[in-house]
Structure 1
Amino acid sequence: MPFARLAHATTPTCHIGLGLAAVGRPGYINLGRDEDLGENRSVDALRSRTHELLDAAYAQGVRYFDVARSYGRSEEFLADWLNARPDIDDVVVGSKWGYTYTAGWSTDAEQHEVKDHGLATYERQRAETDALLGDRLDLYQIHSVTPDSPALTDKDLHAELAEAAAGGLSIGFSTSGPAQADAIRAALQVTVDGAPLFRTVQSTYNALETSAAPALAEAHDAGLTVIVKEGMANGRLAAPHAPDVLKAIADEAGLGCDAVALALILRQPWAGVVLSGAATVTQLASNLHAAVVDLDVDQLTRLATLVEEPRAYWERRGQLPWH
């Protein structure tokens, strides 16, 4: 399994990955994008920004890079970077299918992405991903599985995913929404010829939304690699938006709110890879300080007061504007 490379990495940041959702397209729901990206969000500008982030991440020990078909040109940007560096052979590349990007490189499109977990979408997007990433792709995930997703019951889809797995590709899934735990447990039951189909799960977990933790622990115990996304809650845990409790603990640590927020996730025994969604090199450097944050019992107790009811958390997330 390609994630074994991470287990044997020697850098302290090997279990922090870089997700390109925020820089692969001009519009996203993260807070503070005007300050992060400015007005120039042309394809060339975001390509250059992505390559700078990838250079900085790799130089500091990051070895997992996360993209998706719906993240604008993220696969293309990552492929360009990899093709220019053929000697780099120790990174793990994950992408996702199931959403189609529809914004046309605009920040104010009526609809930014369309979800479809059908077999035809998988076949189309698998071909699109292969054309860009080819054999550099290690992991292909179903994007944002929910308990009612047809991807959990479509036997024809499972057969094609199993065929891809037999060819050396790791198959995984990501989750979103207040019923993440139910989706994870349902996916753990999916088998092909008696063998589990999925090797990884990518879920939202952060100081505000912890409801998936028991199911993620079960997935880890079942042998899946757990990838954590949205550790910064789409910017709600980053200064200046962070809650006062988090700001106080960050002051005590002498580091940023982001480092503390990500450190909380890194200490979970089931967390295999924790994604940084940094949009700038400065943000990335601050995120990577999470590897050296040591939270004590009192700080953990105070952070636990931030947890929100899952439906309230996801309702607020759903109200964040694309900008």
Structure 2
Amino acid sequence: MPFARLATATTPTCHIGLGLAAVGRPGYINLGRDEDLGENHSVDALRDRTHELLDAAYAQGVRYFDVARSYGRSEEFLADWLNARPDVDDVVVGSKWGYTYTAAWATDAEKHEVKDHGLATYERQRAETDVLLGDRLDLYQIHSLTPDSPALTDKDLHVKLAEAAAQGVSVGFSTSGPAQADTIRAALAITVDGKPLFRTVQSTYNLLEHSAAPALAEAHDAGLTVIVKEGMANGRLAAPHAPEMLRAVAEETSLGCDAVALAWILRRPWAGVVLSGAATVPQLFSNLHAPAVDLDADQMTRLATLAEDPRAYWERRGQLPWH
């Protein structure tokens, strides 16, 4: 299990990973992203930015890097970085399949990605990922499972995923939407030859969206590594967009809203890796202060009051513009 490498790490940042969704393509839904990236969204500019972030993260002890087929050229950018550093052999690399990037490097595309959890898409995208990441791939995840996904019931797909697991690639899944808990529990029940199929789960969990917590705890108890994504709620928890309660607690700790928001997640005993989705090195460094935030019980309770109704949260997320 590749995440055993992280479990034995002793650096303060060993439970923080870097996700490349925001820098692997020119369009994304994070608030404030226009200011983060500036005017140059060329392939070379984003490759350079990605490598700068990877260098900074690795130097600070981050060892998990998360990409996806639909994150534009994120797999390619990460592969280039790894190939240029053959001595870097202690990182864990996770990617995802199930969405196809369709924006052709435009920010105003009518559709940026297309979802398909069928076996044919898995086989095509697995081959594409292998070309780029080869034996550096540790974890391959189904991208954004929901309760209606055919991947939950496709036995032929389950056999193929089990074959990948037998060859040394850990198999996981990510979730999205207001029914994440239902999805997680359905995925936990999937077995092949009497053995659980999945080794990891990646879900959205943050100060505004708590609904997956009980199921994530169950997944952790079942032996899965839990990866938390969208801890900053696509920028809604970062200054200057942060709610007043978060701003108040951040002022009490003398650290940023982002560090406090991520620290709140890190306090969950089931949270194995919490992803930073930073688009700039200063954002990354601010995120990496999270392990140093010492939240007391009162602050934890006050921050928990920020929770929204899951359906309202996901409806608002769905309205965020790509830019």
Verify same fold: TM over 0.5.
yes
- 2:216 alignment partner in structure 1: 216
**Are residue 144 (structure 1) and residue 141 (structure 2) matched?**
no
Question: Cα offset for 1:316?
Answer: 0.2
Residue 148 of structure 2 is aligned to residue 124 of structure 1: no
The amino acid across from 2:256 in the alignment is G
Partner of 1:24: 24
User: 1:175-216 CA deviation, whole Å, 9 max, x = no partner?
Assistant: 000000000000000000000000000000000000000000
Of residues 107-116 and 3-12 in structure 1, the stretch that sits farther from structure 2 once superposed is 3-12
- Paired with 2:311 and 2:243, the residues of 1 have a C-alpha distance of 19
**Which one-letter code corresponds to 2:244 in the other structure?**
D
How far apart are residue 300 of structure 1 and its match? 1.2
Alignment TM-score, normalising by the size of structure 1: 1.00
Amino acid of the residue matched to residue 123 of structure 2? E
1:168 match: secondary structure: coil
Counterpart residue type for residue 108 of structure 1: D
2:311 and 2:82 mapped to 1: Cα distance? 39
Deviation at 1:289, TM superposition (A): 0.2
Does 1:205 find its partner at 2:205?
yes
Distance 1:15 1:169 in 2: 21
4+ residue segments displaced more than 2 Å = none
Partner of 1:244: 244
Q: Shift of residue 275 of structure 1?
A: 0.1
Is the aligned partner of 1:59 residue 2:56?
Answer: no
Deviation at 1:301, TM superposition (A): 1.6
What is the SS of the residue equivalent to 1:306? Answer: coil
Can you give the 5+ residue segments of structure 1 that lack an aligned partner in the other structure? none
Could you report, residue by residue, the CA deviation over 1:111-144 in whole angstroms, capped at 9, with x for unpaired residues? 0000000000000000000000000000000000
- CA apart distance, 1:302: 1.1
TM-superposed deviation, 1:147: 0.8
1:1-323 alignment, distance < 5 Å: 1-323=1-323
C-alpha distance in 2 between matches for 1:76 and 1:297: 43
Amino acid at match of 1:64: Y
Amino acid in the other structure paired with 1:89? D
Amino acid at match of 2:199: R
What do residues 223-256 of structure 1 show as CA deviations (whole Å, max 9, x unaligned)?
0000000000000000000001001110110110
Q: What secondary structure, in the 3-state scheme, does the structure 1 residue paired with 2:18 have? A: strand
What is the identity, as a one-letter code, of the residue corresponding to 1:311?
A: R
The one-letter code matched in structure 2 to 1:61 is G
Output the CA distance in 1 between the equivalents of 2:267 and 2:166: 33
How far apart are 1:305 and its partner, in Å? 1.3
- Report how far residue 148 of structure 1 moved: 1.0
2:69 counterpart letter in structure 1 = R
How many positions carry a matched residue from both structures? Answer: 323
2-structure distance, mates of 1:194, 1:284? 42
Distance, in Å, in 1 between the alignment partners of 2:103 and 2:22 is: 14
Q: Determine the C-alpha separation between the residues in 1 that align with 2:73 and 2:225.
A: 26
What is the alpha-carbon distance in structure 1 between the residues aligned to residue 65 and residue 301 of structure 2?
Answer: 32
Report the identity percentage. Answer: 89
CA distance in 2 between partners of 1:56 and 1:23 (Å): 14
RMSD: 0.4
Distance in 1 separating the partners of 2:7 and 2:196: 22
Q: CA deviation at 1:297?
A: 1.3
